A and B are shown apart, each in its own frame.
Chain A
Amino acid sequence: MHSNHRFSKYFNASPIVFLAFLLFFLPNKLAVSQLPFAPDMLTSLLSAADVTHHPAGYKMNTFRPYLPLTGKVSFLTYPPINVDQALETLYYDAQNYLAPLILNPAPVETLAIIWTSNDSQMQKLASQNGYQITSVLSQGKALAVKIR
Chain B
Amino acid sequence: MIAAFFPFILPFLTGYLFWRWLTLKTDLPNKSLFSFSVAIPTGLAFFSVNIFLFHLLVPGHSHVATRWSSWLMPLFFLLLNLLPASLHHSLYGPHTNYPKGAYPSKKVIFHLLLTFTTFILFSMALYSYLIYFRNYVTWNLFGGWDGRYFWDLKARFLSRNPLEWKALFDPIMANWTLPDYPLLLPGSVAWGWISIGREFLAWPPLVGLSFYLSLLVHCIWYLKSMRSSATAFLGAAFLVCLPAFSFWSTTHYADIPFSFFLTSSCLLIIFSLRTQSSRLFLASGLMAGLSCWTKNEGIPVVPGLLLLLLFYAWNNKNRNLAFRNIAMFLLGIFPLLVVIGILKFGLGGGGVYLDSTRSSAELLRQILDPMRYAYIAKAFYIYKTNSASWLYLWPLFTLAVFSFVFRMRIFPHGHYRWIPLMAVLWVELAYFSVYVITPIDLAFHIQTSMTRLLLHTAPLALVFLFDIFGIDDPTGNSFPAFIAPPATEGAELITILMPSFQSARFIRESIDSVLSQNDPNLELIVLDGGSTDETVSILESYGDKIRWISEADKGQADALNKGMSLAKGSLLGWLNSDDLYCPGALAHVRARFTSNHATQWLFGPCRIINEDGHEIRKFVSWYKTFRLSRYTYTQHLTENFVSQMGVFARTEFLRNSGLFDIDLNWALDYDLWLRMGLRSIPAYIPYDLGMFRMYSDSKTVSGFEKGFREDLRVAQKYSAGNPLPLWLHHFHNQKIVFIYNLLSR
A residues near B, CB below 8 A? 1-3, 5, 7-8, 11, 14-16, 18-19, 22-23, 25-27, 29-33, 35-38, 41-43, 45-50, 53, 55-56, 69-70, 72, 92-93, 95-96, 99-100, 102-104
- Give the distance in Å from the alpha carbon of A23 to the alpha carbon of B1 in the complex: 36
A residues within 8 A CB of B118?
23
Task: Scan B139-181; emit 1 where CB is below 8 A from any A CB, else 0.
Answer: 1011000001100110011001100110110101100100000
Do A7 and B156 have beta carbons less than 8 Å apart? no
Q: What B residues does A102 contact at CB under 8 A?
A: 167, 170, 172-173
Q: Please, which residues of chain B bring their CB within 8 A of the CB of A96?
A: 148-149, 152-153, 156
- Complex CA gap A96/B2 in Å reads 26
Looking at the complex, which one of B136, B161, B406 makes contact with A5 (CB distance below 8 Å)?
B406
Chain B residue at minimum C-beta to C-beta distance from A34? B135
Q: Are B121 and A23 touching (Cβ within 8 A)?
A: yes
Residues of B within 8 A of A25 (CB): 391
Q: Please tell me if the beta carbons of A48 and B200 are within 8 angstroms of each other in the complex.
A: yes
Bound together, the chains give a CA A105 to CA B445 distance in angstroms of 25
- Whether B407 lies near A37 (C-beta < 8 A) is no
8 A-B pairs with the lowest CB-CB distances in the bound complex, closest first? A48-B200, A30-B128, A45-B202, A31-B132, A18-B469, A100-B164, A33-B135, A35-B135
Selected A-B contacts with CB under 8 Å, 7 pairs: A26-B121, A31-B132, A46-B5, A50-B200, A55-B199, A70-B167, A95-B153
Q: Once the chains are docked, how many angstroms separate the CA of A102 from the CA of B46?
A: 28
User: Known pairs A38-B138, A70-B167, A72-B170. 14 more at Cβ < 8 A?
Assistant: A5-B410, A15-B470, A27-B121, A30-B129, A31-B132, A31-B240, A33-B131, A42-B134, A45-B202, A49-B200, A53-B201, A72-B172, A95-B173, A99-B160
Shortest Cβ distance from residue B157 to the other chain A in the assembled complex, whole angstroms: 5
* B125 at interface, CB cutoff 8 A: yes
A-B pair count, CB < 8 Å, reads 158
By the criterion CB–CB under 8 Å, are A99 and B157 in contact?
yes
The number of chain B residues touching the other chain, given as a range, is 35 or more
Bound complex: CA A138 to CA B172 (Å):
27
User: A137 to B366, alpha carbons, bound, how many Å?
Assistant: 52
Measured between alpha carbons, how far is A43 from B138 in the docked complex, in Å? Answer: 10
Shortest Cβ distance from residue A92 to the other chain B in the assembled complex, whole angstroms: 4
Question: Which residues in window 228-267 of B have CB below 8 A to A?
Answer: 230, 234, 237-238, 240-241, 243, 246
Give Cα A96 to B142, complex, Å.
11
Which one, B128, B156, B170, B396, contacts A32 given CB within 8 A?
B128
Contacts of A38 in B (CB 8 A): 135, 138-139
B536 within 8 A of A: no
Chain B interface residues toward A at CB < 8 A: 1-5, 114, 117-118, 121, 124-125, 128-129, 131-132, 134-139, 141-142, 148-149, 152-153, 156-157, 160-161, 164-165, 167-168, 170, 172-173, 176, 196, 198-203, 230, 234, 237-238, 240-241, 243, 246, 391, 396, 403, 406-407, 409-410, 469-471
**Cα–Cα distance between A86 and B170 once the two chains are bound (Å):** 24
Distance in Å from the Cβ of B621 to the closest Cβ of chain A? 45
CA–CA, A92 to B470, complex, Å? 47
CA gap between A48 and B198 in the complex, in Å? 9
Contacts of A45 in B (CB 8 A): 4, 137-138, 141, 200-202
Question: Which residues from A are CB-within-8-Å of B200?
Answer: 45, 48-50
- Knowing A5-B410, A26-B125, A56-B142, the reply to whether A48 touches B134 (Cβ < 8 A) is no
How close is B403's CB to chain A, nearest CB, in angstroms? 6
- B471: chain A residues at CB < 8 Å are 15-16, 19
Please measure, in the bound complex, the distance between the C-alpha atom of A1 and the C-alpha atom of B167, giving whole angstroms: 61
- The docked-state distance in angstroms from the alpha carbon of A32 to that of B124 is 12
CB–CB A14/B136 < 8 A: no
Q: CB < 8 Å: which of B1, B164, B168 contacts A70? A: B164
Alpha-carbon separation in the docked complex, A100 to B137 (Å): 26
Choose from B5, B125, B136 the contact partner of A35 (Cβ within 8 Å): B136
Contact residue among A30, A43, A46 (Cβ-Cβ distance under 8 Å from B125): A30
Least CB distance, A86 to chain B, in whole angstroms: 14
The answer to whether A99 and B139 touch across the interface, beta carbons within 8 angstroms, is no
- In Å, the complex CA distance between A100 and B410 comes to 60
Which of the listed residues A29, A69, A72, A100 has the most CB atoms from chain B within 10 Å of its own CB?
A100
Task: Report chain B residues within 8 Å CB of A14.
Answer: 403, 469
A26→B230 CA distance, assembly (Å) = 14
Q: In the bound complex, how far is the Cα of B230 from the Cα of A100, in angstroms?
A: 50
Q: Shortest distance in angstroms between A43's beta carbon and chain B's nearest beta carbon? A: 6
Question: B4: which of A19, A27, A32, A48 is its contact (CB, 8 Å)?
Answer: A48
Question: Known contacts being A50-B201, A56-B142, is A19 close to B234, with CB within 8 Å?
Answer: yes
Q: Point out the residues of chain B lying under 8 angstroms from A35, CB to CB.
A: 135-136, 138-139
Instruction: Tell me, in angstroms, the Cα distance from A55 to B160 when the chains sit together.
Output: 14
Asked if A31 contacts B243 (CB within 8 A), the reply is: yes
CA distance A29 to B1 in the complex (A): 31
- Which of B128, B132, B201 is the one whose CB lies under 8 Å from A55? B201
Q: In whole angstroms, how far apart are the Cα atoms of A16 and B391 in the complex?
A: 19
Residue of A nearest to B2 (CB): A46
Which A residues are CB-close (under 8 A) to B240? Answer: 31
Whether the Cβ atoms of B135 and A31 lie closer than 8 Å is no
Of chain B, the residue at the smallest CB distance from A40 is: B138
Contacts of B134 in A (CB 8 A): 33, 37, 42
Contacts of A92 in B (CB 8 A): 148-149, 153, 176
B202 touches A48 (CB 8 A): yes
Q: Nearest chain A CB to B141's CB is how many angstroms away? A: 6
Taking CB as reference atom, which chain A residue is nearest B197?
A48
The distance in angstroms between the C-alpha atoms of A124 and B160, with both chains bound, is 35
- Closest residue of B by beta carbon distance from A37: B135
Shortest C-beta distance, A85 to chain B (Å), equals: 11
Q: For the complex formed, measure the closest distance between the CB of A141 and the CB atoms of chain B, giving whole angstroms.
A: 22
Contacts of B142 in A (CB 8 A): 56
The one of B161, B202, B403 in contact with A11, judged by C-beta atoms closer than 8 angstroms, is: B403
Complex contact B202–A46 (CB within 8 A): yes
A127 → chain B closest CB, angstroms: 24
Task: Give CA–CA (A41, B157) in the complex, Å.
Answer: 27
Of the candidates A27, A29, A43, the one whose C-beta lies within 8 Å of that of B391 is: A29
Q: Which residues of chain B are within 8 angstroms of A8 by Cβ–Cβ distance?
A: 407
Chain A contacts for B168, CB-based, 8 A: 100
Of the listed residues A11, A14, A22, the one surrounded by the most CB atoms of chain B closer than 10 A to its CB is: A22
Max chain B CB contacts within 10 Å: which of A35, A48, A69, A92?
A48
Task: Decide: A2 near B160, CB < 8 A? Known: A48-B202, A96-B148.
Answer: no
Residues of B within 8 A of A3 (CB): 407, 409-410
CB-contact partner of B117 in A16, A23, A41, A56, under 8 A:
A23
Residue of A nearest to B230 (CB): A19
Contact A47 B1 (CB under 8 A): yes
Known A2-B410, A26-B241, A30-B124; contact A100-B157, beta-carbon cutoff 8 A:
yes
CB distance from B310 to the nearest CB of A (A): 29
Chain A residues in 8 Å Cβ range of B156: 96, 99-100
The complex places the Cα of A102 from the Cα of B135 at a distance, in Å, of 34
Bound Cα distance A76, B165 (Å): 24
Alpha-carbon separation in the docked complex, A22 to B469 (Å): 11
- Given A33-B132, A46-B5, A27-B124 contact (CB < 8 Å): yes
Q: Which residue of A lies closest to B162 (CB)?
A: A100
Which A residues are in CB contact (< 8 Å) with B165? 100
The interface residues of chain A lying within 8 Å CB-to-CB of B198 are 48
